[in-house]
């Protein structure tokens, strides 16, 4: 991965982690740490893969 993709991956991970923690805290009254750490990585990786496969019109 180049530097731009790595930065995008980290930002996406942090955003999804914050959303998951907020949803778990407010609606479930508990935080599942393993799920909170694993799911943002999956979402960020899939988002990065989808965004890199989209061809840009020149």
Parse the chain into domains and list their residue ranges. Answer: 3-53
Report residue 51 as tokens.
């965004």
- Rounded to an integer, what distance in angstroms lies between the CA atom of residue 57 and that of residue 40? 29
Q: What is the pLDDT of residue 2?
A: 79
Low-confidence ranges of the chain (pLDDT < 70): 1, 35, 48-58
Q: What is the pLDDT of residue 1?
A: 59
Q: Cβ-count burial of 39 within 10 angstroms (0-12 exposed, 13-18 middle, 19+ buried)?
A: middle
**What pTM was computed for the model?**
0.59
């Amino acid at each position: 991965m180049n530097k731009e993709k790595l930065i995008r991956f980290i930002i996406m991970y942090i955003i999804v982690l914050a959303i998951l923690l907020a949803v778990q805290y407010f609606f479930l009254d508990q935080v599942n740490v393993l799920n909170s750490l694993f799911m943002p990585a999956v979402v960020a990786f899939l988002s990065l893969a989808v965004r890199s496969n989209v061809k840009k019109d020149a």
